[in-house]
A and B are shown apart, each in its own frame.
Chain A
């Protein structure tokens, strides 16, 4: 770009808070016409919020607007709704398709902007009675497809298309808008095959050559190198660095994405030099799990006795599917062996019977009886699975709930985990997120498992509570010798508490490393590079 050209889009000191939690701080960047900007960052880094601001989405206005300025052609703009953004020539393709399955590609591309013919009825009923000019529709659609530079049959029904073609239809629709100048693509390649992704990348370059700017959000860093002019790396709501795509590498981006302050930081773990035995307590072979959004394809994993194993990876790669599949909450297949005996899958009861326990990432949906007392929440699984907290009458024929024992165990955990509540009979829904999480832990502890799966234990709770939850887990591991498998999307958290960390990519283990390895090594694994390739 010549120096004369003014930047098309500029963000100045953009910041945003949700209920006092800053999610974006001082975001500055600019984008020239015909440039492709790569936007990378971990989940929760603030990418979506930034795009929502750009589009004037309702969620931004409803939560108190944003700070800073968004400039287009050097003029400050404040979009009141996505429609205004569209008028200003900004188009967006979301991860989820918004297409009508029963319509053809051409019809979808020009939906609600169809070229029209006047008919006799229009004289009476106005424009609503106009007919669609099919020929012109076809022509315009083909023009848009050609502009994109891909192979796409305009007469094909969306319902019959492969995923890639749906993606192309979406993009064609955006660029068929005459005013289009900036296109935002949110992880467009996530659902595509390699071949289709290649075509799409070519199309992006094609658009850029025609002067349309593109903001390209992706987790696949190689694509950034292939197609972008510059890269913006975000972390914790800040822009960490703006790089020229030509002078960077996957390793550098990965490091910036996940790393904290300096790359040499040692995890804060009080490395108590403990010996983990080589005894394998749980081995997972060829596990697949059909969990929507978190599909596990082929996981092989061995968990050693007494360790804390971390499972990390980006969202949607399948890390959450592993515990959910093993514990029988989603359809699964493969072979799981605990201490030498195979555990039947798809049977929650069998897992619990063999002393596995699971703290779900879906606290409110799976983890708690929101409408019942804390006593019930904590004692229920142990009561049902292990017949604890029951009094037997008539030779075991009547198993009566032992209210006193339930109260006792609940109060024990309330004081042990410092759960803030009014009493042990308070309802679970009245507690804060962090305390609810502790109830979930207490529930699992009450089962006295040999192996405990903990899924996203710190999701959605504040920093203070996070530390307490992690502390509780570590103590439980050290004191009771319980093996813990902890799944988390926060790498730093895993590095603090775990002995080894496995990274899941594309439904399979891409590598297992000791937790004290530098974070960029994990970053490399996350973006789908095995260690060898990265070297």
Chain B
């Protein structure tokens, strides 16, 4: 009994409640006339789409920079890569690779500056990060209009300049991963390529954290003074982690676009950080500890809730509760994690 309680405690009460809720939704689903297999397909699809953005939280958490509320900055790098790739006009799978290549230098430069900034505000990273995200989104809203893009698939039809708010990836890299290596069993469809794509980067991060540099990064997050006394350049490790997080954010949004089908500009990236932050926290991470398991479990639980509640709730009570529930879950989780941090450090 004691042992059971201990396991339960280790699992965490919020995680338990959310898991039970999700299981309940899956049980109710058939009675509400919703196909379980379709739901699972949906959840897995969303997992593949979002998991890398959640993974983007990990390096910064490890180096002690807290949760990456500045994810929009990484997303903007991804958007720059995406628009440049489409501008090039090359269709098919190559455009996806191009988008990744184009977004990389932006992610490195923006991440470097973002890292430098965070090094100046040690202790207040998460608040600063939030505003870095917001203000970069506002700045880019101007830039999307001004930058000299000319591809007819992207610019406003009536003026011929300035990018549209949503751009279809159709013909470029729409479902480039989703439809590759997909397994279809009846109505259930699992995209192996998407999952492998995530698994590859998850493996890279996992491996990185087992190297000398990765160990140093974790130590910086665990106790910066200890790391400094051991001859580690704290600022360099932190900057490196921010660059990694930013680059993963860029990759994450590209992966999202190929599944979702659209590139969303302007206000699109504004609130993208919240679901990712919330997902990793649901997965059991804290402000200064996270691992790949947290990413996987968290993304499945979070996306499960987000995709299941609207369909089940709507068909049950015929009102749209989904958005309300999603907001409660994601913001509630963030709130919970942030308050728990001060409790644990004592």
> Chain A residues in contact with chain B, CB under 8 A?
327, 329, 348-349, 351-353, 358, 360, 362, 365-372, 376, 380-381, 383-385, 387, 390, 398-401
Contacts and interface: CB of A to CB of B under 8 A. Distances in A.
Chain B interface size range? 20 to 34
Interface in B62-93: none
B interface secondary structure, majority: helix
B226 A369 contact: yes
A6 to B, nearest CB: 48
Given A384-B212, A384-B216, A400-B211, A368 B223 contact: yes
Nearest to A353: B231
Nearest to B232: A384
A348 B229 contact: yes
Contacts of A352: 230-231
Given A369-B223, A371-B222, A372-B219, A329 B228 contact: yes
B289 interface: yes
Nearest to B223: A369
Contacts of A401: 210-212, 215
Contact of A371 (B225, B232, B289): B289
B342 to A, nearest CB: 15
Given A348-B229, A366-B229, 17 more contacts: A329-B225, A352-B230, A352-B231, A358-B229, A367-B229, A368-B223, A368-B226, A370-B223, A371-B288, A384-B215, A384-B232, A385-B230, A390-B212, A398-B211, A399-B211, A400-B210, A400-B211
B219 A327 contact: no
B233 interface: yes
A381 B231 contact: yes
B237 to A, nearest CB: 11
Nearest to B210: A401
Chain A to chain B: the 9 pairs with minimum beta-carbon distance, closest first: A349-B231, A399-B212, A381-B230, A352-B231, A369-B222, A366-B225, A348-B231, A369-B223, A401-B210
A365 B225 contact: yes
Interface in B179-219: 210-213, 215-216, 218-219
29 contacts: A329-B225, A329-B228, A348-B228, A348-B229, A349-B232, A352-B230, A358-B229, A360-B229, A362-B225, A366-B225, A366-B226, A366-B229, A367-B226, A368-B226, A369-B219, A369-B222, A370-B223, A371-B288, A371-B289, A372-B218, A372-B219, A376-B219, A381-B231, A383-B212, A385-B230, A399-B212, A400-B210, A401-B211, A401-B212
Contacts of A398: 211
Contact of A349 (B225, B233, B288): B233
A351 B232 CA distance: 12
Contacts of A390: 212
A173 B267 CA distance: 61
A401 B218 CA distance: 13
A364 B212 CA distance: 23
A398 B209 CA distance: 11
B340 to A, nearest CB: 14
A329 B231 CA distance: 10
A366 B216 CA distance: 15
Contacts of A367: 226, 229
Contacts of B231: 348-349, 351-353, 381, 384-385
A371 B215 CA distance: 14
A327 B229 contact: yes
Contacts of B216: 384
B215 A329 contact: no
A153 B228 CA distance: 47
Nearest to A370: B223
A385 B230 CA distance: 8
Interface in B17-51: none
Interface in B221-254: 222-223, 225-226, 228-233
Contacts of A384: 212, 215-216, 230-232
Contacts of B228: 329, 348
Contacts of A351: 231
Nearest to B218: A372
A289 to B, nearest CB: 15
B202 to A, nearest CB: 17
Contacts of B222: 369-372
A340 B231 CA distance: 22
Contacts of B213: 399
A385 B215 CA distance: 12
A434 to B, nearest CB: 19
A358 B228 CA distance: 12
Contacts of A349: 231-233
A401 B232 CA distance: 16
A13 to B, nearest CB: 37
B234 to A, nearest CB: 10
A366 B222 CA distance: 11
Contacts of A362: 225
A498 B226 CA distance: 27
Nearest to B231: A349
A399 B207 CA distance: 10
A399 B232 CA distance: 16
B228 to A, nearest CB: 6
A348 B210 CA distance: 24
Contacts of B226: 366-369, 380
A351 B230 CA distance: 10
